[in-house]
């Protein structure tokens, strides 16, 4: 397979200037990528050509990254979501590289960040149930040494969006 990697381009992205119409287009597309050009054009009050040109430019500028389908975790039987706080004693490059690889190759890791402060990493992990989380956890700590782990179990998803707040033009 042509590796449709989840962690895209390490391009140093720098903020792009957008006008009101660009922002409107982006905010529509963020909510629903199936909207046709006609519908978008109508909603932003322009005709197809300029809207299409703007979308193409936004794609080229890297503002628009990709289009994805969002699935329902419950329908897939993924009823448990954990946030995992990790402290490590190891800070050498080799350890970090192995840890990163371990995270990237595990599909139940939906998100992973390196943090500032006394907690070193946070993960979001989506699994079937607590048992599946434990399997994940055991497998992870057997692969890389970790000093301290706290798992926070989500009881209820209050909000979850892929839509970013699009800053307004005043800057």
Chain contacts with DNA (rule: CB under 7 A): 36-38, 46-53, 55-56
Which residues, other chains included, contact 26 with Cβ-Cβ below 8 Å and sequence gap of 6+?
A: 18, 58, 63, 64, 166
Q: Which of 15, 93, 94, 170 binds a second copy (CB under 8 A)?
A: 15
Contact (Cβ atoms closer than 8 angstroms) between residue 88 and residue 121: yes
Q: Does the protein bind a second copy through residue 147 (CB under 8 A)?
A: no
**Any contact of residue 68 with a second copy (CB under 8 A)?**
yes
What is the SS3 assignment for 120-139? CEEEEEEECCHHHHHHHHHH
Interaction partner, residue 169 (DNA, a second copy, none; CB < 5-8 Å by kind): none
Q: Does 167 bind a second copy (CB under 8 A)?
A: yes
> In this structure, are residues 87 and 120 in contact, taking their beta carbons and an 8 Å threshold?
yes
Query: By C-beta, is 46 or 102 nearer to a second copy?
Result: 102
Q: Which of 52, 100, 137, 149 binds a second copy (CB under 8 A)?
A: 100
User: What residue has token string 């909603």?
Assistant: 43
């Amino acid at each position: 397979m042509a590796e449709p990697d989840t962690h895209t381009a390490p391009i140093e992205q720098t903020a792009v200037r957008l006008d009101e119409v660009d922002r409107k287009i982006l905010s529509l597309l963020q909510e629903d990528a199936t909207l046709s050009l006609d519908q978008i054009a109508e909603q932003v009050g322009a005709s197809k050509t300029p809207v299409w040109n703007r979308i193409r430019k936004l794609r080229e500028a890297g503002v628009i990254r990709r289009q994805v389908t969002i699935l329902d975790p419950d329908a897939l039987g993924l009823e448990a979501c954990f946030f995992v706080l990790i402290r490590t004693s190891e800070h050498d490059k080799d350890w970090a590289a192995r840890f990163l690889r371990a995270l990237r190759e595990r599909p139940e890791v939906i998100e992973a960040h390196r943090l500032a402060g006394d907690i070193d990493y946070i993960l979001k992990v989506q699994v079937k149930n607590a048992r599946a989380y434990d399997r994940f956890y055991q497998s992870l700590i057997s692969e890389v040494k970790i000093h301290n782990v706290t798992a926070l179990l989500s009881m209820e998803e209050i909000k979850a969006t892929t839509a970013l707040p699009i800053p307004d033009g005043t800057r």
